[in-house]
Structure 1
Amino acid sequence: DESSLTGESASIKKTTSALASETLLADRNNMAYMGTSVATGRAVGIVVNIGMETQLGRIASDIVGSVAPKTPLENKLESLGKFLGIVALVVAVLMVAIKMIIAYGDETANLKEVAVEQFIVAIAIFVAIVPEGLPIILVITLALGMRNMARHKAIIRRMKAVETLGSTTVICSDKTGTLTKNQMTARQLTTTEGTFTISGEGFKPQGDLSYNGNVVTESELSGYQSDLAFRLSAACLSLCHNSQISKVDGQWQALGDPTDSACAVLGWKINGNVRKFAQRHSRLHEFFFDTTRKRMSVIHDYEGERWVFSKGGAGGYVKLVDWKIKDGQIVPIEKKDFDLASVANKEMAGQAMRVIALCARRLEDGEDMEDVNTVESSFIFLGLVGIMDPPRAEVKDAIEVCQRAGIRVKMITGDQQYTAEAIGRELNITEGGMPPVNGSALSGFNDEQLSEASNQASIFSRVTPEQKMRIVSSLQEQGEIVAMTGDGVNDAPALSRANIGIAMGIAGTDVAKDAADMVLQDDNFANIVHAVEEGRKIYQNIRNFVRYQVSTNVAAVALIIISTFLFGWNLPLTATQILVINILMDGPPAVALGVEKNHGDVMNQPPRPVDEGMPNFRDITLIFYLGAVMVTGTLIVFFLAGGGVDTCELHPLQNADEAEFDVALCTAGLLANEGEITSEQSAAIAASEEYHAGLFDHAQTMTFSVFIVYQLFNVMNCRSNKESAFKLGIFSNQW
């Protein structure tokens, strides 16, 4: 069983024949590999590699050497941080430089006082323009996203995966154990009396038989069991195997050859518990399966007689079958019967099914049951069983949702091409401008050919772990955000290299889980859709709180620059007020935006462009629009509250009669030369300064209050790009 290494569900028959050195891993049937298991038989081998030189060791080396790229959000926020830092530095330096140059040309100016004042302004600009709380808010938002994903059985091992899922443009998935359950299942039973389809998944002995599209009821099944062909077929399935089907920790498991197990499960669906059935019909002798005969035969005491039940490759029975069952009677088989069986065989093989023939015969008294040539002769042909590793029930719908969301799904498997194509057709993973590509062709591709194949082909078969990693890397070089899903050791390098690796929690190996960023606890592929939806929602919320924070910071900086540089006023906000705005009014509202519910169907929208900025052009437009509204309103309030009043000047809404000082004496005192100021003028100037100080404190308080009110309206406005807060519900977000 090499499924964990190559992805092929069926057991591989091993030989001692020499093979070409360039033979692909999955086709090297003269080698046994570390980490695989023996299904049947025994052998003696020569150890040719150990440790890191084994296939497992090479895979481990690929994992260690693989460096996952930065997430799109990391790159965008890093760019945003650098940009804001540069803007803050440039604006602060220009402000200080221009003010100092002006002061240097003014003989009456005190350069030291101007320098101290401008230093405070520069610090205020730095504090106002840099969103200090953004990293903390980002971590909180991603952590809450991890919690939400865990509710859908998606365990995030690395926090970056939360956001990356929302950026995913391509999902590359292994087949065996991911799109399928890696449990061979009988899907069709064709007897000489008709064809039955079988439902159910994996080793779980529960499912329905359908005849001509109609589910067979229990009473109808009893009727079929009275039919000799059907009854003998069911007995052959229930007795001719060496598998053990059992329930362990709530999961149905099979011990033995996958083909044996599939037949045993089908026998259970028809006859009930196969262990009890075998106990009622004791085994007398057995001829084990071998690669020469390509069949297995057993002799059981069945219905009071010795019966031989045999199963194996259909081609091996052509010369051994003499009889068939028609209308409940055993009659000679005809050439047309072989032709019909051949057609059924080809039809099932075309659906990626492994076809097993079922035969039986009754041993006459005196026949030697230990002579294989005697026993395996003059068989009655019972029918054919089609076995495959079927897709998981939830996968097809999940893939449709992904495709509707603009996410391309590609199958990358080590299994045979015809099997991959059949599963691809069933799951609708057949879109693309290139037919399926196999590993042999892939090994000869240069970088340009690989780039074309990875972009256009949807199915890759017979690929090695190294080739899986090459495909993922090629897609990343084309600007795609790649999610890789898998469960086996052979998937680990690609899981590690992908932007986000997703491993199966139940069927997945420890190596795959360790290499992954996310683990699906219940192996449900559909949970990837929930995770992508959560990731998109989180990214949208991050955009919303970035827009909120940056628009607030732009307004605060513009307020400082316009009031101090253009109008020559003092700072409209104190350093403490700026800190309160940045810490208290930036943080909690931004966290609330980070947990905003999903508005609209994000899964009906295409993935956002990889090169889209954070913020994008639309966000930047909104940021400056919102900032302009806040600055304009706040400046008006600051001015009307008396923030622009200088010494000896009155509040804009007051007249001279209402003044608390003599404006004329105060003005004359300011214009008088030193030593010529009268006591009345000095008193008027002192009263003006006291009046001005109280007025300015009042103006700063009013400005602070109005700015906070603007922020409250702004945070409501930033909850959605399209819907108003009234439509969303003012209190729908309890945070």
Structure 2
Amino acid sequence: MTTETTTGGPTPDETDTTTGTKTVGAEADFHVPDDPSLAAVDDVAAALHTDIERGLDADEASRRLTAFGPNQLAGAPPVPKWKKFLAQFNDPLVYLLLAATAISLVAWFIERASNPAEAEKLPFDCIVIVLILIVNAVLGYAQEAKAEQAVAALSRMAAAHATVLRDGVAVSVPTSEVVPGDVVLLAEGDTVAADGRLFSAAALHVAEASLTGESVPVTKNAGMLATAVALGDRTNMVFNGTSVTQGTGRFIVTATGMNTQVGKIAGMLSEQKEEPTPLQKEIAFVSKVLGLAVCAIAVLVLVLLAVVYGFNSTQDIIESLLLAVSLAVAAVPEGLAAILTVVLALGVQRMARHHAIVKKLSSVETLGSASVICSDKTGTLTRNEMTVQRVVTASGEVLLTGTGYEPVGEMTDVDGRVIAGDGSDGGTDGGATRDADDGDAVRFGEAAAVLRIGAVANDGQLNDDGSIVGDPTEVALIVGDRKIRRGEEKDSESPVRVAEIPFTSDRKRMTVIAADATDATNGGRLTAYAKGAPDVLLSYCSRIAVGGAVRPLTDDDRRRILADVERLSGEAYRTLGSAYRPLEVDSLTAIDGIRLDDSGALAVDIADQADVIEHDMIWAGMVGIIDPPRTEVRDAVAEAHAAGVRTVMITGDHPLTAARIAKDLGIIDESGTALTGDELDRLGPEDFDKAVRDVSVYARVAPEHKMKIVDALQSQGEIVAMTGDGVNDAPAVKSADIGVAMGITGTEVTKESAKMILTDDNFATIVAAVREGRSIFDNIRKFLRYLLSSNMGEVLTVFGGVLLAGFLGISEPGAESVTVPLLAVQLLWINLLTDAAPAMAMGVDPSIENVMNRRPRKPGDRVIDARMWSDVIVVGLLMAAVTLVGMDLYLPGGLLTDDSAMGATHDEQIVMARTMGFTILVFAQLFNALAARSATQSAFRGMFANKWLWGAIALSVALQLVVIYVPALNVAFGTTPLDPHQWLECLGLAAFVLVGSELYKLVLRTVSKRHV
């Protein structure tokens, strides 16, 4: 035997060499064979104290979860908080600022040593800059922590689930809660939640390429292996992370978490670094270009200072260097990446609250660009509350009342008259009188037989609390059967399944062999029950049940049945045929042509011998199942159309059904039709591309058709969103620009392939997500426009102030020392005050424009385009102009004042002028926050819609008041208190930014209308 670690535990495992078993953790009271593939199912179940019929009870599962921990792979060690905080300083521009701080500190020591009078003066510049750097780091750390929490919450919402038996009931639990000894149910499309020993397998094929490298799905069975074999050859085992491509099965969990085979591999892998998104790359590029430009301006400022003033002292050099470096830092929005991440994370959280879980933040960028939504029909465009409403047999047609999954209803004829079989089958219901003539009894009996076949050949489950497990179509058949039986027959008396040939997308039918558990005279003889697509199943029938007898199936019968299929499909019903065949034996081994091995399985896999069973069957009838369109989808389709987003329906349903639903929802008009998979196959490449460009409804398509349609749309330059739920949808979902998986009915394989998961399986949610994606992208452009234009205002203010210092009166005539328009700490304060809070608030700004009233953004469109750069430059020039004018008002020798108007010393005048310019620039940027909410719409439209923005503005104003009126901060920031009339001057001049921006937008709107 090979030795394997089989489960996780709080203490090391202990191997018993005499029995060949392993104690799993010191707290465990059970043993697991070293190699479960070499043990019989009963031995594995006994070792794990598991009842394979009922699974674990809830208390035992909880105890084992506590003992062995969650069933999940260990992630990378968490980064300590102190490292995350220090990472906020890992920026070249911060390095420059720290270098400037060090230079300033050295200058302070030199000045203190050379001038004893300055010995008591503190290095306020250094202190303030360091404090601001720390505040910036704290803000960045808090922003990143919030984004990480948002992403972690989304990961929990999108966590994979597994179906397990708990207390004898199939329930869906997160895979992290699967424990050793659990009985897990597998179906097509499931991802295997843990390692385990199969005890039931019906046509079960598992893709294990991710684990073993085997490119072809492995056929699984429940038989015990005779000798130890390699991992890829353990056909009676399933492994964590692999996926079911076909069939069904059940297994006992033998290993979870890091002790699974994939866990061992994961332990050897290092964490991969996530690639930056296209938006992040563009932002990084813009920041780099802007940084280089500002550095060039900083060098130019240094040259100007040297030419205009010359460097007459060390202090002049220190102040000039400090100004140049702080200008570069202030001009580049170094917190942009953190703000971008948080805004995306908050937007994704809003989507999650509206039933759309976006697995990666980068997908938000693509959502706003979607131009085509390819959607399945069932559950997405319709309610996915399948209800059997019609049953058609050889003796006529009956209707079933009631909707949804509550088994309450009655049988009526097409005129609404309640019917029943005989007195024992019918009786009264709610006082209704039943007419039980012979014709009614025949129709009732035939319809009941059709529903009974559908309920037996079925993998669905209807729980007592009304919840369902499995395909809603199969559950609808169970509900219909229970409506007829009215609870008179206990589930224990139903036919007992002994073998099955499962449904696949290729077979389009399912057959179950069951023993009659109630007919003692029949000796529990076997019968084959089949359901499937009527046209497919009919080809395997040679007889038909009519009036309690069986006769040969004629050509007229076939034409009538197919005509009924067409009629019901045209009325938007999904049709399923029912057939059966008495096998006249009480053992599978007595069926001529059946080959069985001694696997010990509960259900025998005979999928490869379908031809032995599925022939000479008796046609019983068919059901018409309706899944009504969602009422909200029609409006969503119309909204998508108005937004330039085309809706395409791709379904496996009948073309008439697909066309009817599409017309009801407005996807096509009354003259539109559906194109089938067979018709697509007959098209050449050019005709196929033309069809994909023009056709909006596809029916009876295979998985490869979905891939071809998506690929063709993408080759035509479309950004495609593709919905899917089954395993056969996964390739197309993964290939699409935005793969969308169904959260309720979707398989785990499809969810893993998708970029977005719908928790309500609703098409309207996709359109809402596109709308939200566009709004998020618009908000990103808003705060980019705001940050860049505000920082441009700072750069131009300093550059213009130095260049025009003598002209504006900033420098004293004949002065030899350097005089700068704004101090370094003032620039840094402006950057801190106006960048973080207002920009973050703009990231959650309610849309003031109809984002769904324009065409989708093209992939090649730049986030920061030429139009935005022109906005940035215009607003930056306005800011610089009003700031310099405000300073000039309080400086002698300028354009608007002279020496006689000023009664203070030059130093006092400079402090006052800088305080005015400093305050004007702060308020100008706050006015800019209002103006930047739209590139074209007036700022007064929806001005008070964003309470967070007004809160950020109020906070900024309050902090600016503190800097102006607190004496200690006056010294630190080089400010002086302002009088009321000076505040009015500041507000008046700053408001010119808003007024100028409004006039600029008015001109743009006027020009735009002339070009329409």
Q: State whether residues 573 and 704 of structure 1, in contact with CA within 8 Å, keep that contact through their aligned partners in structure 2.
A: yes
2:330 counterpart letter in structure 1? A
Structure 1 or 2, whichever has the larger Rg, is 1
The residue aligned with 1:463 is 703
2:882 counterpart letter in structure 1? G
Which secondary structure does the structure 2 equivalent of 1:602 belong to?
coil
Residues 196, 157 of structure 1: alpha-carbon distance in 2 compared, 3 angstrom cutoff = same
Q: Output the CA distance in 2 between the equivalents of 1:733 and 1:98.
A: 44
Alpha-carbon displacement from aligned partner over 1:16-62 (angstroms, at most 9, x marks no partner): xxxxxxxxxxxxxxx99559999xxxxxxxx998699x9968999xx
Q: Output the CA distance in 2 between the equivalents of 1:613 and 1:199.
A: 54
The residue aligned with 2:284 is 78
**What is the deviation of 1:703?**
0.5
Q: Output the CA distance in 1 between the equivalents of 2:478 and 2:776.
A: 47
Residues 621, 659 of structure 1: alpha-carbon distance in 2 compared, 3 angstrom cutoff = closer
Q: State whether residues 68 and 498 of structure 1, in contact with CA within 8 Å, keep that contact through their aligned partners in structure 2.
A: no
**What is the deviation of 1:123?**
1.9
Q: State whether residues 381 and 630 of structure 2, in contact with CA within 8 Å, keep that contact through their aligned partners in structure 1.
A: yes
The residue aligned with 2:800 is 562
The residue aligned with 2:178 is none
Alpha-carbon displacement from aligned partner over 1:148-205 (angstroms, at most 9, x marks no partner): 222223334323234432233333456777667999864643354446488856x664
Q: Does 1:653 align with 2:900?
A: no
1:621 counterpart letter in structure 2? S
The residue aligned with 1:694 is 908
Q: Does 168-177 or 434-443 show the bigger shift? A: 434-443
Give the one of 870, 873, 876 matched to 1:627. 876
Give the one of 926, 931, 934 matched to 1:717. 931
The residue aligned with 1:574 is 823
Q: State whether residues 153 and 521 of structure 1, in contact with CA within 8 Å, keep that contact through their aligned partners in structure 2.
A: yes
Residues 163, 294 of structure 1: alpha-carbon distance in 2 compared, 3 angstrom cutoff = closer
**What is the deviation of 1:113?**
7.6
**What is the deviation of 1:552?**
0.8
**What is the deviation of 1:701?**
0.1
The residue aligned with 1:681 is none
Q: Output the CA distance in 1 between the equivalents of 2:243 and 2:679.
A: 21
Q: Does 1:4 align with 2:186?
A: no
Residues 50, 397 of structure 1: alpha-carbon distance in 2 compared, 3 angstrom cutoff = farther
Q: State whether residues 555 and 630 of structure 1, in contact with CA within 8 Å, keep that contact through their aligned partners in structure 2.
A: yes
**What is the deviation of 1:462?**
1.9
Residues 171, 408 of structure 1: alpha-carbon distance in 2 compared, 3 angstrom cutoff = same
Q: Output the CA distance in 1 between the equivalents of 2:674 and 2:563.
A: 30
Within-5 A mapping of 1:435-450: none
Which secondary structure does the structure 2 equivalent of 1:701 belong to?
helix
Give the one of 295, 317, 320 matched to 1:89. 295
Q: State whether residues 438 and 463 of structure 1, in contact with CA within 8 Å, keep that contact through their aligned partners in structure 2.
A: no
Q: Output the CA distance in 2 between the equivalents of 1:159 and 1:515.
A: 16
Q: Does 1:344 align with 2:564?
A: yes
Which secondary structure does the structure 1 equivalent of 2:392 belong to?
strand
Alpha-carbon displacement from aligned partner over 1:63-120 (angstroms, at most 9, x marks no partner): x9x99986453343233223312322333344445665x46xx9x8759787656534
What root-mean-square deviation, in Å, do the aligned CA atoms of Structure 1 and Structure 2 show? 6.1
Q: Output the CA distance in 1 between the equivalents of 2:445 and 2:528.
A: 9
1:150 counterpart letter in structure 2? A
Q: State whether residues 888 and 897 of structure 2, in contact with CA within 8 Å, keep that contact through their aligned partners in structure 1.
A: no
Q: Output the CA distance in 1 between the equivalents of 2:496 and 2:293.
A: 87
Greater relative contact order: 1 or 2 (C-alpha under 8 angstroms, separation 6 or more)? 1
The residue aligned with 2:31 is none
Give the one of 247, 260, 266 matched to 2:480. 266
The residue aligned with 1:123 is 325
Q: Output the CA distance in 1 between the equivalents of 2:634 and 2:874.
A: 45
Residues 434, 5 of structure 1: alpha-carbon distance in 2 compared, 3 angstrom cutoff = farther
Within-5 A mapping of 1:156-167: 156-167=358-369
The residue aligned with 1:486 is 724
The residue aligned with 1:733 is 947
The residue aligned with 1:170 is 372
Q: Output the CA distance in 2 between the equivalents of 1:283 and 1:437.
A: 39
1:463 counterpart letter in structure 2? P
Q: Output the CA distance in 1 between the equivalents of 2:774 and 2:406.
A: 36
Q: State whether residues 34 and 56 of structure 1, in contact with CA within 8 Å, keep that contact through their aligned partners in structure 2.
A: no
Q: Output the CA distance in 2 between the equivalents of 1:563 and 1:607.
A: 43
Q: State whether residues 569 and 657 of structure 2, in contact with CA within 8 Å, keep that contact through their aligned partners in structure 1.
A: no
| Percentage of matched positions with identical amino acids | 31
Q: Does 1:404 align with 2:633?
A: no
Q: State whether residues 722 and 732 of structure 2, in contact with CA within 8 Å, keep that contact through their aligned partners in structure 1.
A: yes
Q: State whether residues 200 and 208 of structure 1, in contact with CA within 8 Å, keep that contact through their aligned partners in structure 2.
A: no
Q: Does 340-349 or 171-180 show the bigger shift? A: 171-180
Residues 237, 245 of structure 1: alpha-carbon distance in 2 compared, 3 angstrom cutoff = farther
The residue aligned with 2:357 is 155
The residue aligned with 2:577 is 356
Give the one of 454, 460, 463 matched to 1:247. 463
Within-5 A mapping of 1:465-544: 480-492=718-730, 495-496=733-734, 498-544=736-782
Residues 398, 659 of structure 1: alpha-carbon distance in 2 compared, 3 angstrom cutoff = closer
Q: State whether residues 450 and 578 of structure 2, in contact with CA within 8 Å, keep that contact through their aligned partners in structure 1.
A: no
2:702 counterpart letter in structure 1? R
**What is the deviation of 1:697?**
0.8
Q: Output the CA distance in 2 between the equivalents of 1:399 and 1:48.
A: 49
Q: State whether residues 358 and 383 of structure 1, in contact with CA within 8 Å, keep that contact through their aligned partners in structure 2.
A: yes
Q: State whether residues 368 and 774 of structure 2, in contact with CA within 8 Å, keep that contact through their aligned partners in structure 1.
A: yes
Alpha-carbon displacement from aligned partner over 1:348-403 (angstroms, at most 9, x marks no partner): 46768444257999xxxxx999999xxxxxx9997532458887776665444433
Within-5 A mapping of 1:584-603: 584-603=833-852
Q: Output the CA distance in 2 between the equivalents of 1:628 and 1:404.
A: 38
Residues 618, 449 of structure 1: alpha-carbon distance in 2 compared, 3 angstrom cutoff = same
Q: Output the CA distance in 2 between the equivalents of 1:293 and 1:129.
A: 68
1:653 counterpart letter in structure 2? T
Q: Output the CA distance in 2 between the equivalents of 1:58 and 1:296.
A: 23
2:745 counterpart letter in structure 1? A
**TM-score using structure 1 length:** 0.67
**What is the deviation of 1:485?**
3.4
Q: State whether residues 387 and 627 of structure 2, in contact with CA within 8 Å, keep that contact through their aligned partners in structure 1.
A: yes
Q: Does 1:144 align with 2:365?
A: no
Q: Does 533-542 or 280-289 show the bigger shift? A: 280-289
Residues 443, 612 of structure 1: alpha-carbon distance in 2 compared, 3 angstrom cutoff = same
**What is the deviation of 1:589?**
1.0
Q: Output the CA distance in 1 between the equivalents of 2:407 and 2:561.
A: 27
Q: Does 1:615 align with 2:826?
A: no
The residue aligned with 1:278 is 489
Q: Output the CA distance in 2 between the equivalents of 1:220 and 1:341.
A: 35
Within-5 A mapping of 1:11-22: none
Q: Does 533-542 or 563-572 show the bigger shift? A: 563-572
Q: Which residues of structure 2 form unaligned runs of 5+?
A: 1-185, 192-201, 205-214, 223-229, 246-261, 263-269, 420-428, 502-506, 532-536, 592-616, 811-818, 952-1012
1:700 counterpart letter in structure 2? R
The residue aligned with 1:640 is 889
